[in-house]
Structure 1
Amino acid sequence: MSPSEPDPGLRTLKKQRTRQTIADTAIALFLDRGFDQVSVAEIAAAAEVSKPTLFRYFGSKEELVLHRFADHLGEAGRVVRDRAAGLTPLDALERHHLDRLAARDPNTGLTDDPEVLAFLRLIYETPSLSAHLRDYVDADTRALAEALDPGGSVAARLVAAQYAAVRQVLAHATWTRLAEGLDIGDVARQAAAELAEAFALLRGGAAAHGF
């Protein structure tokens, strides 16, 4: 690399900062005014980039919000593949979810951070965001089904779909209680109890297939 050429590491860092600035700017505007009331042009202007630049980093307006879930894509499948010896897939998934509850992971709905609660409200109460979130859930479900059975059995796909539905229902129920102002300790205990109930129901159908 000649002295006049920019350091590739610095270029990467600048791109990451630009991407983060665009996303943070967009989410701040959405939380303040509502998703449908903010245009892409307004986001680009506020972030001091052009619209073409914005779309180089994010393929759609919805992705400006939902990219925060990208790091969790395939997580359930990884939990199943990397589980300790002697654990069934459902045992591993239940333990992982309990760990995430204990860590107050926003993806479980269990958080007392007002900004995160508002962010989740934005997703749950904006139809286009909820619809696009299903794309992430579908991708995660397919990855879990493959981890359960690389052969692609119907049983594995059904169990994966049921787990994905359980996770979404539990997270929404937990967020709803916190959004209503209930004590987070009480909500956490209820979330753990409902998780146990949900996995008991899942095991009833999955055990016959070794999951």
Structure 2
Amino acid sequence: MSLRERKKQLTYQAVSETAIALFLERGFDKVSVAEVAAAADISKPTLFRYFPTKEDLVLHRFADHEDESARVVAARADDESPLDAVRRHFLDGLERRDPVTGLCDAPQVLVYLRLLYGTPSLVARLFGYQRRSEAVLAHALGDRMPDRLAAGQINAVLRVLAEENWRRIDGGMSADRAYPEAVADAEAAFEQLRSGIDG
């Protein structure tokens, strides 16, 4: 990255962290974009150059993962199928307690996910990120109709698994305690993808 790109990335991160801190303190709907801009010491137009919507101030963390499955598929070994590559990557994420898998009980992740899932406009905006993720995965698979269907199915499985893991964590289970069930669910889900619903 060039110096300019690094500075832009640091500003991007700082503004988002400022916004999230305000949202956690007072609630997403009770903080205006103008207040975020003032707290971050930038103008409102500058803020909108970085974040097109208020929701993006929270959801930019998901933007880093939009093309994650596509990258995994593109980087897989020649003898590994796309589905096996995504499965391997998700299971590795569970083992690392990657927040994207929903299986993370770090305090800062818990408060962030409660903000996210407790705010309807953020949940709605999240679907936009998931649609873009599906599109880039479909492109990595080949972009034909069967590839688009496969990308939709894979993304749906990843989403449902993450939501189920988050439900466990939000219900009071530790990530370590939930881990065996999360792995079993993931294995069953990927097997169903491989064999089909009737199988």
TM-score (norm 2): 0.92
Residue 186 in structure 1 maps to residue 177 in structure 2? yes
The AA in structure 1 aligned to 2:87 is: E
Opposite residue 94 of structure 2, the aligned amino acid is L
* 2:30 paired residue number: 37
Matched residue SS, 1:72 = coil
Q: Tell me whether 193-202 or 176-185 shows the greater mean CA deviation.
A: 176-185
Counterpart Cα distance in 2 of 1:148 and 1:162: 13
After TM superposition, give the deviation of residue 12 of structure 1 in Å: 4.5
Alpha-carbon RMSD: 1.7
Equivalence for 2:186: 195
Matched, 1:121 2:111: no
1:202 CA displacement: 0.5
Task: Determine which of 132, 148, 155 is the counterpart of 2:146.
Answer: 155
Which is higher, the Rg of structure 1 or of structure 2? 1
Matches within 5 A, 1:40-189: 40-149=33-142, 152-189=143-180
Cα offset for 1:164? 0.6
Partners in 2 of 1:183 and 1:57 — Cα distance? 36
Q: Distance in 2 between matches of 1:72 and 1:97?
A: 12
Q: What is the Cα deviation at residue 183 of structure 1?
A: 2.5
Aligned-pair distance for 1:13?
A: 4.4
Distance in 1 (alpha carbons) for counterparts of 2:81 and 2:6: 41
Query: In the alignment, residue 112 of structure 1 is paired with which amino acid?
Result: D
Identity %, equivalent residues: 54
- One-letter amino acid matched to 2:91: L
Structure 2, unpaired ranges of 5+:
none
